[in-house]
Amino acid sequence: MQPDNIEKIVIDPFTPVLGYGGQGVVYGVSDDAVAKVYHLNGPITRILAGGEDPERVAMREYYIQKMLHQAGFPVPEPYGVEEVTLIRPSSLFGLYKPDRTALIAERINGVKGNALSGENLERALHLFDKWLKEAWKLEFTGIDARLEDTIYVPSENKLYFVDFGMWSHPSVYSL
């Protein structure tokens, strides 16, 4: 899914893990970028994504995130879907599949929404409501936003939304 002349991103045991959830693990692959590496098509992914390939799930999330970004939503800019090489200690014994599908996106440095307190929490909650109303207006569906999937940047008073694995939109139904 990428031209041969672009070097593959390699994630090794020293690459920091920024978060994880039901659909994938998010690694900080540089100071500016993250790679969300989708779980293999195991039981959890099958329930969440209806048995779909990680590539399909990744592309849908990419399109939703791109639409939101273009509409001026506070979401990390999505850069693309790529195959990355994931080197885990167990892969040495052939137990792990190293070629994995990942969504590459802008890295946001801030505080996870569910770790906020006091005034920052109040500000974040205000922004949370405001942007969710906007998302409704733009006809996004399946919105399962929760504070855990937000990142607050206090210096900018900006609340980023991440994780669009469950979101949909009439324009991407057919994907």
Ligand X SMILES: Nc1ncnc2c1ncn2[C@@H]1O[C@H](COP(=O)(O)OP(=O)(O)O)[C@@H](O)[C@H]1O
Binding residues for Mg ion, rule: CB under 5 A, are 21, 149, 163
Q: Which of 9, 23, 127, 131 binds ligand X (CB under 6 A)?
A: 23
Residue 74 and residue 172: Cα distance in Å, rounded? 20
Q: Is 20 in the site for ligand X (CB under 6 A)?
A: yes
CB of 94 to ligand X, least distance (A): 25
Name the residue among 93, 97, 90, 76 with its Cα closest to residue 153. 76
The count of chain residues that interact with ligand X, using the rule CB under 6 A, is 22
CA Rg, the chain, in Å? 16
Query: Which C-beta is closer to Mg ion: that of 21 or that of 80?
Result: 21
Q: Is 145 in the site for ligand X (CB under 6 A)?
A: no
CB of 16 to ligand X, least distance (A): 10
Quickly count: other Cβ atoms within 10 Å of residue 137's Cβ: 8
Q: How far is CA 42 from CA 48, 51, 52, 54, 84, in A?
A: 10, 8, 10, 10, 19
Binding site for ligand X (CB under 6 A): 18-24, 26, 34, 36, 76, 105-108, 112, 148-149, 151, 162-163, 165
